[in-house]
Amino acid sequence: MELEGIPADEASFACIILGCSHKGDLHDGWSKVRSLILDHSVRLTKQLYCSITDLLSRAGYLREAEEILSGMPFTPDVVDWRCLLGACKRQEDTQSGAQAARQALVASPEDPSSCVLLANVVSV
């Protein structure tokens, strides 16, 4: 995009960060986060916060990801907490998983899928 003179926006950065997250490249993903803030003056939106949370949690930085979710200027929704909960399963972290499940249940108490996800974390 830069070579073509197309300015990066929030959506393109979110996709780039998620791509880094899915390929497990924390270093490159974090470099993009710094670039979007410092070089491009992009304001962090809920979508970007969630992309950053996904990047950190997939790399095993569950506590940092939880801090981002808890500290962002937006209210995390059930999907945000379930994203962290899924990462807890991959990292086999039952303590963080229980906390993420509690938050997911607070966000959506009528939906039992958070309990199912937590059961998957505990049964690892």
Say if 114 falls within a structural domain: yes
DSSP for 16-30 reads HHHHHHHHT-HHHHH
Say if 31 falls within a structural domain: yes
Say if 23 falls within a structural domain: yes
What digits encode the pLDDT tens for the residues 104-113?
A: 999 999 888 8
What digits encode the pLDDT tens for the residues 36-58?
A: 888 888 888 999 999 999 999 99
What digits encode the pLDDT tens for the residues 55-105?
A: 999 999 999 999 999 999 999 999 999 989 989 988 889 999 999 999 999
Q: How far from 91 is each of 56, 57, 71, 96, CA to CA, in Å?
A: 12, 9, 22, 10
Say if 5 falls within a structural domain: no
**For the chain, what's the residue count?**
124
Say if 36 falls within a structural domain: yes
As a whole number of angstroms, the distance between CA 60 and CA 43 comes to 26
- What's the CATH code of the domain at 83? 1.25.40.10
Say if 4 falls within a structural domain: no
DSSP for 3-15 reads TTTPPP-HHHHHH
User: 3 exposed, middle or buried (CB, 10 Å; 0-12, 13-18, 19+)?
Assistant: exposed
What digits encode the pLDDT tens for the residues 7-39?
A: 778 888 899 999 999 998 999 999 988 888 888
Say if 19 falls within a structural domain: yes
How many structural domains are present in the chain? 1
How does residue 124 score in pLDDT terms, banded at 50, 70 and 90? low
The candidate with the shortest Cα–Cα distance to 81, out of 60, 97, 64, is 97
Say if 1 falls within a structural domain: no
Domain of residue 94 covers 10-122
